[in-house]
A and B are shown apart, each in its own frame.
Chain A
Amino acid sequence: MSRKQRKRRERRRQRARRRHEGRVEVPLCDPPYRGRVPLQRLDGLRWRVPRRGAMRVDGLVYADEALLPDLEQDRCLEQVANVATLPGIVGHSLAMPDIHWGYGFPIGGVAAFDPERGGVVSPGGVGYDINCGVRLLVADFDREALSGRMDELVGALFRAIPAGVGSRRAELAVDERNFQAVLRDGARALTPLGLARPEDLERIEEGGRIAGAEPERVSARALQRGRPQLGTLGSGNHFAEVGYVDEVHDAAAARAFGLREGRVTLMIHSGSRGLGHQVCTDALQGMLRAASRHGIPLVDRQLCCAPVGSPEASDYLAAMAAAANYAFANRQVMAHWAREVFDRFGSDLRTVYDVCHNIAKFEEHVVEGAARRLLVHRKGATRALPAGHPLLPPAYRAVGQPVVIPGDMGRCSYVLVGGAGSTSSFASACHGAGRLLSRAEAKRRYANSDVSAQLRARGVVVRGASRATVVEEVPEAYKDVAEVVHVVHEAGLARKVARLRPLGCLKG
């Protein structure tokens, strides 16, 4: 027996032994780019990542010259190229200007897959915090009404909205039947419980309920993690922020959204808590096996996926929809409690809009001149429907969808409206400022600083469940959201409507 034959026999034995031990070979492929990714300038706002290696389409990055150095600081551009290797991807692997390094998919990434062309669903393209999103509410009064009362208001919100590990409000007794209804019907399930108003529902993406949810596909572990956490903020970059309208850019859209200069606002940024994380964790295990079975080569394990229509894809999409519905309900419950607080301060709170940041949804888009039903993954991106779109609620149909873009605790946030240019981004825009410093770097630079005191000096009252989180979320850890929004506005993905300034922030 030759040396070559002996080697071949040994490899056969190894494969057999691994099969016997339950080992699954995950098919891996080389990343298209390692290190620096060459960007080809298309115009001042768009950059092409040329197709190379296993990429099936080009990447397309929305950024201007000022933002480019930030994008090249981490490995997010490699991830844009990696996403382009997935089966059935159409158009481009897109990157919004707030893009930064994520797991598998970049945060700030958008990718659409055509089920008719072998398109896949990837839990990594949605992320762990399924339907992490943001709700914007507007009060009846202007900021002067809160003069000298911000400590009191932020303290009251801190007591009303549970934040941090293990915190919850015991009086939210959602029994098993109602909890199943939350998973199936999202925020809609809260109307009979007196926790949601009908006018809230029409101002939530998808009406507060993603179709196709099957609570029975959600694992017992996910239910155990999620049930006690309903109506809680969570940690990391989650927050509730009181602000005010500092500047109006588009008077007609602002009027439609109920925003005017000086008016007080509240933003709630949270998601599906442990339930969504567990749904993602559960799915990834199955998807790694699915990728192996379907022979889908992966650049990164977190990109594991399954063809739409396969049992693994169907299981995930049904559980993901349930987790997304939980997230809609989660933000709704917190909005209800915030209303109770604002009521004591003499104001109602009206929902302006509630958007998803992490989601995969079947949507119709025009590709190569034809309308196609695509599975659009938004991972740290916001849907941005232009005026006239049939999915918009009647109140916003003439102007377009509100796109709420939180910044950081110290500078500003924006309200935009979906623009005509979003047809080139599968009706998507950015979702925030995007991280600039890693958590470790923020800690190294600001651990000895009193971040809360510094923010107070800038007129922002901060309460955090953990000091470490406040330090790691220091404003300087983020890009300037104004620069990010400038790109989105100029590219026509969404137009500026109003700028918000923070007055008080509650951090998880």
Chain B
Amino acid sequence: MPRSLRFFDHTGDFGVVLEAPGLGGLAELLVRAFLELLIEVPAAVHERSEHRIELEGIDGADLLVALGNELVYLFEVEGFLAARLEVLRASETALCGVLHGDRFDPEEHPIARPVKAVTHHGARLEPVEDGLRARIVFDL
């Protein structure tokens, strides 16, 4: 199943629909979606450092929301911009992986719009042919 990422409008914010063969693939796409919303030129974020993450959730949708909020925290507190997620282990309730990215530099990485949180509003994970589809809404 080909991976896909599609943004949709939410009155004050943005949402994204992700499709991938499995949860790990959805998590990788979510990292990309986050970067595309946050930074004007995502390609300017290089893979110069890394961050290991271990997350838990009550189910797959909750896990993706937790991943999104981890990205918010890492950006705001550590100044770390994730460009790519390398999934080491993914189950319905746990995700382990390495985020590859760069230290935020306002000159090199102009902000498009700060992402303040990743919400549970309408958060969904559902099976589709040959894979999974997730729907996540960002708070901007």
Contacts and interface: CB of A to CB of B under 8 A. Distances in A.
A40 interface: no
Interface in A10-28: 18, 21-24, 26
A285 B121 CA distance: 13
A277 B120 contact: no
B93 interface: yes
A284 B122 CA distance: 14
Contact of A302 (B72, B77, B120): B120
A102 B13 CA distance: 9
A74 interface: yes
A472 to B, nearest CB: 7
B56 to A, nearest CB: 7
Interface stretch (A54-62, A203-211, A351-359, A435-443): A435-443
Contacts of B116: 128-129, 235-236, 274, 277
A100 interface: yes
B2 interface: no
A292 B11 CA distance: 29
Contact of A435 (B11, B61, B66, B120): B11
Given A277-B139, A438-B12, A304 B120 contact: yes
Given A225-B76, A468-B113, A104 B121 contact: yes
Contacts of B94: 22
A281 B59 contact: no
Interface residues of B, number: 41
A103 B119 contact: yes
Interface in B107-123: 110-114, 116-117, 119-123
B119 A24 contact: no
A280 B139 CA distance: 12
Interface string B70-95: 00110011010000000000011110
A48 to B, nearest CB: 23
A100 B77 CA distance: 31
Interface in B38-86: 40, 56, 58-59, 61-62, 66, 69, 72-73, 76-77, 79
Given A166-B106, A301-B61, A472-B113, A221 B73 contact: yes
B58 A26 contact: yes
A302 B13 CA distance: 15
Interface of B: 7, 9-14, 40, 56, 58-59, 61-62, 66, 69, 72-73, 76-77, 79, 91-94, 104, 106, 110-114, 116-117, 119-123, 137, 139-140
11 contacts: A18-B92, A21-B93, A128-B117, A166-B106, A236-B140, A237-B12, A302-B123, A435-B12, A439-B140, A466-B113, A468-B111
